[in-house]
Amino acid sequence: MSKNATLEINGQKYEFPLVTGTENEVAIDIKDLRAVTGGVTTIDPGYKNTGSCESSITFLDGEKGILRYRGYSIEELAEKADFLEVAYLLIFGELPTQEELDKFKKDICDQSIVDEDIRKIVDAFPKSAHPMGVISSLTSALTSFNPSSVNVDSKEDMYKAIVKILGKFPVLVAWTLRKKQGLPLDYGDCSLGYVENTYKMMFKQPNKDYTTNEVVINALNKLLILHADHEQNCSTSTVRIVGSSHAGLFASLSAGISALWGPLHGGANQAVLEMLEAIKEDGGDTKKYMAKAKDKDDPFRLMGFGHRVYKNFDPRAKIIKKAADDVLEQLGVEDPILDIAKGLEKEALNDSYFVDRKLYPNVDFYSGIIYRAMGIPTDMFTVMFALGRLPGWIAQWREMRLRKEPIGRPRQLYVGETQRAFKPMSKR
């Protein structure tokens, strides 16, 4: 293959180098485009064709349905690893040794205490507040309680900031839920694993002993791993671009949480369950909703379907669908919503509208059904996604800072008014 791409503008030819990734993906390096062409820019709404960075964290092949973290397949990690091991892998690049993992866990635990004044902030939110707004605000508030900025050239400083947020975030998640439910805000038990401790902090009743539920903890571990990173998606790109201005880690993460909230991104898991509920309430007529999704005059979309990158299948959805079946069976839960979901999936996979547009169930289509079986309230689903995505955001922020990437600042093509004279009030 040629090492260059040729671009011709008004008869003038320009050469741009081709760069190849480790999985043989090819990109045209247009870093010098504006300089050599005298200001010609590219336009790519939604960045459908634009690579914003080079990254060694996550590989995704949307055509083949491949997802790997640092080279390890998502299927293998979901089956064999623990969420904290995966977090370590994503952030530092290698699976931890037992010693490294033990230290990581201890350091996270040591940093999990949240300033008591944060309780006052939690208390100030109305119970009706959406948990994503609360958790984004609390993550941002952490900046005020930890004002010294991270020296990214210091390994120790960087590590401390990372274990700090990994320690405090589950506490904030639990407090967000407990405030809504009117339960006392408390801490967990560091002798438990990270996932189980988070679950206990969320659900422990003040008047009852906590008892473990292995099925729930295993399923949660799997779900968090499947959500842990997904290369340059909307929230991750947000974290990287906010961090590129050298705003701190917590501020960058808070921005990422806000980006995740939208129903086209992480908020889809809540939207899917609400959609399935609505179909059930409406008599379970899936065909009616299929027709709505296909009607161009109707804004309704089949939530949990379609993906910007996966044009074959979402490998995470495959694993989650099976996990949903297992969890419901193991917990003895019979959920009519699952039948509606399966019915919709079957219809969509045989419908030319969905087939032609390569719209398949995504990660969020079945995750809500498992969360519901675990007793997690619907408006907390996206918070659970954020809990899973946290290590990915941290890894991407760290990579961006260590690579000393420039501030993110896209160009535009101006299509507004050309210069005109100021119009006095009397003439408007």
Contact residues: ligand CMC, CB under 6 A:
46, 230, 233, 264-266, 268, 293, 301-308, 357, 359, 362-364
- The question of whether 307 is a catalytic residue gets the answer yes
d(CA 317, CA 322): 9
The type of residue at 249 is: L
Q: Which amino acid is at 357?
A: R
Calculated CA dihedral for residues 22, 27, 28, 29, nearest 10 degrees: -50
CA separation for the pair 91, 104 (Å, rounded): 12
Of the pair 68, 265, the CB lying nearest ligand CMC is at: 265
Query: What residues does 73 pair with on adjacent strands?
Result: 68
C-beta atoms surrounding 95 within 10 Å: 15
Q: Is 364 a catalytic residue?
A: yes
- 234 token code pair: 């909307």
Q: Which is nearer to ligand CMC, 145 or 300 (CB)?
A: 300
The minimum distance between CB 47 and ligand CMC, in angstroms, equals 10
In contact, 240 and 396? CB cutoff 8 Å? yes
Helix (H) or strand (E) holding 247: none
Q: Which position's Cβ is nearest ligand CMC?
A: 306
Pairing of strands 58-61, 12-20: unpaired
Write down the least CB distance from residue 214 to ligand CMC, Å: 27
Least separation in angstroms between CB 76 and ligand CMC: 21
CA-based nearest residue to 382, from 258, 220, 292, 244: 258
Residue 227 C-beta: closest distance to ligand CMC, Å: 8
Q: How far is the CB of 286 from ligand CMC (least distance, A)?
A: 13
Alpha carbon distance 306, 359 (integer Å): 4
In the complex, what is the shortest distance from the CB of residue 357 to ligand CMC, in angstroms, rounded to a whole number? 4
Q: Which is nearer to ligand CMC, 110 or 298 (CB)?
A: 298
CA 314 distance to own-chain centroid:
15
Query: Which residues lie closer than 8 Å to 126 by C-beta, 6 or more apart?
Result: none
Q: What is the DSSP letter of 232?
A: S
Phi and psi at 2, nearest 5°, equal -60, 155
Q: Count each helix (H run) and each strand (E run) in the chain, helices first.
A: 18, 6
Among 82, 229, 314, 364, the one annotated catalytic: 364
Three-class DSSP category at 100: helix
Closer by beta carbon to ligand CMC, 104 or else 381: 381
Residue 142 CB, shortest distance to ligand CMC, in Å, is 24
The C-alpha atoms of residue 6 and residue 301 are separated, in whole angstroms, by 40
From the number of C-beta atoms within 10 Å of its C-beta (0-12, 13-18, 19+), residue 293 rates as: buried
Annotated catalytic residue, options 82, 130, 307, 379: 307
Alpha helix segments (H runs only) across 182-314: 194-203, 214-227, 234-243, 249-261, 268-281, 286-294
- Which tokens is 404 given? 């000393």
Q: How far is the CB of 296 from ligand CMC (least distance, A)?
A: 7
Q: Which two tokens stand for residue 330?
A: 């193991």
How near is the Cβ of 353 to ligand CMC at its closest, in Å?
A: 7
CA-to-CA distance for 114 and 42, rounded, in angstroms? Answer: 46
Instruction: List residues with catalytic annotation.
Output: 307, 364
